[in-house]
Structures are given as C-alpha cells and as structure tokens.
Structure 1
Amino acid sequence: MGLFDNAVPGGNITKPLMIALGALLVGKMLSGKGSDQQQQQPQGVPAPDASTDGGLLGGLGGLLDRLRQTGQGNAADSWVGTGQNQTIDSSALGRALGPDVIRQIAEKTGMDEQELLKQLSNALPGVVDKLTPNGQVPPHNQVASAFRD
C-alpha cells in the first residue's frame, strides 16, 4: 500500500477501508453492479452510470462530481488541489454517497454504516490528495493500479 502510506491520520489503512475505497474509486472491489444501486439517489443528483467500471460512482472523477453536486465541492477541490486538505463531515459524505452506495460498501466490508462513513471521511482527503499529486485527476487505469497489491 505504499502510495497510501501516511494518507490517513494514524497512517494505517485497514483492509476493510481499502475495500471501501476501491469500491468507490475503482469498482473492482464489489461484484454484481445491479440496477438496485440506482434506486435511492440524493435528490437532484444524477444516478451513477452503470456502464462504467470506475467504481460505484464512476471512479475518482465521479466521486468528486458527486461531492460537488451535493455541496461539498470546496472540500473535494481542496483534496485535488495543492493546498491544505479540508475535512468532510461523515454525515455530509453520507448524503453525497447516498444510502444505497453506503449499504453496498458496508455489506461488502462487514463494517457498520456509521463506522464506514467515519473512516471514509477521515481517509478520503488524504487518499484523493495522494492520487492527484499534480492537482489533476488521473486516468482511471492509474487510479486502479494504486489499488493493486
């Protein structure tokens, strides 16, 4: 996990958290992307494109777009930019991800939904920052390679 060393407070990304991050950013961590994942989207937020293989929300770019659409654009943009990373509240992250995505990831990781959101809200700023060292969202294949052992 070399790329993600020191990406989160405490410097340790657990296996369930890596699975959760991979599910959001890469899509290889969850099987069976079904149409049921699109049932409960936050109001005014487009459903994810099931034809992509870039994670539950369309990869890193899709996740960042979803955060922007749900009022968390300043935080998301700070993670990509070269300045200080802003924090994101777990409840704001939950609203951005939507209940169905949270449920799917929680089931796959075996984590409680609230604990999952807490850990993701702590990890995402550093992980996105590490994935975007030049202030640019990399191509999907570069993001996917960061999750390979």
Structure 2
Amino acid sequence: MSFLNDLLGGAQGGQAGGSSLVSIAGQLIEKAGGIQGLVSMLQQHGLGEAAQSWVGTGANQPVSGDQLGQALQNGGLGSLLQEAAGKLGVDQNQLLGQLSQVLPHAVDHLTPDGQVPAQGQGGFDLGSLASLAGKLFGGSAA
C-alpha cells in the first residue's frame, strides 16, 4: 500500500497521514448511520455484494473509487467527500480511490465476528479504527 503512504505522507490534514484517511472512513460510517446504515446505503446503490463481503469473515470484494463515489454521492454523502478532499488537499477522485482501499478494511475491522452490530448498538468507537491505521499504514496511529 505504498501508494497510499506516498499520497498521504504529504496530506497532513491536521492528523498523521494514514490516520486521516481512516478518520474519514469513520466519519462516513458515522454519517451513514453506523455500519448497518453504510451497508444498507451501499446495498441500495449497487454495492450490496461487496459491502456484505466486507462484513463477512471471508475476503473483501474490491470496489473502484468510481463505484464507491457514485454510491456515496447517491446516498447523500457527497458534501462530506468534498469537504474531506479539500481538507486533505487532494482531488475527490483521488480521495475515492484511497477510500475504496481503506473503507472495506474499516468495515471488516468493525465487524470482526462477521455480523453488523444491531441497530442501537451502532455506537462504534472511532478510536478502534486508530489501530486499523497502524495495521494499514505500518506506523503508530497517534
């Protein structure tokens, strides 16, 4: 994942590079209504099979930045994407390309037993994603 490290190394959006991207993934999950809300949104916009694979215990199905962007835009999260791209100083398509790599890992990380948390238990801990940044980007997430 060195291309992510390279790109994020220069994008110090107030946080350490890789953790900024993981933080954005967390914000998307939060704005979508938790894991259940995000998976539901992705299902409604054509990425249901991929989203289910991220939750399940098997391999994560890849999605392209374009596919993810279309689903998130249609799901009403376009303004969050624009804002995040602006903060990181990258093009929104670049951001979506990176998120298409990180978001599956974030969902996978937050559903370790292969189950979406029940509604009402959607209060996931953004701090739990900090350890994911360390795994994905090989650095310590401060």
Count of aligned positions = 112
Aligned partner of 2:137 in structure 1 is none
The structure carrying a bigger helix percent of its residues is: 2
Which one-letter code corresponds to 1:126 in the other structure? H
Contact 1:80/1:135 (CA < 8 Å) preserved in 2? yes
Aligned partner of 2:55 in structure 1 is 80
RMSD, aligned α-carbons = 2.3
- Residue 14 (structure 1) aligned with residue 18 (structure 2): yes
Q: CA deviation at 1:96?
A: 0.8
Q: Write out aligned runs for 1:1-149 (5 A).
A: 9=1, 14-25=18-29, 55-98=30-73, 99-138=78-117, 139-147=121-129
Q: CA deviation at 1:74?
A: 0.3
Unaligned runs of 5+ in 1: 1-8, 26-54
- Counterparts of 2:95 and 2:36, CA distance in 1: 21
Q: Deviations over 1:51-96 (max 9, x none)?
A: xxxx222222221111100010000000101111100111010011
Question: Which contiguous aligned blocks of 4+ residues in structure 1 show a shift greater than 6 angstroms?
Answer: none
Q: Given the superposition, is the C-alpha separation of residues 108 and 62 from structure 1 closer, same or farther in structure 2, using an over 3 Å criterion?
A: farther
Normalised TM-score (structure 1): 0.65
Which one-letter code corresponds to 1:65 in the other structure? S
Unaligned runs of 5+ in 2: 6-16, 131-141
Normalised TM-score (structure 2): 0.67
Q: CA deviation at 1:123?
A: 1.0
Give the share of equivalent positions with the same residue, in percent. 41
- Counterparts of 2:20 and 2:87, CA distance in 1: 8
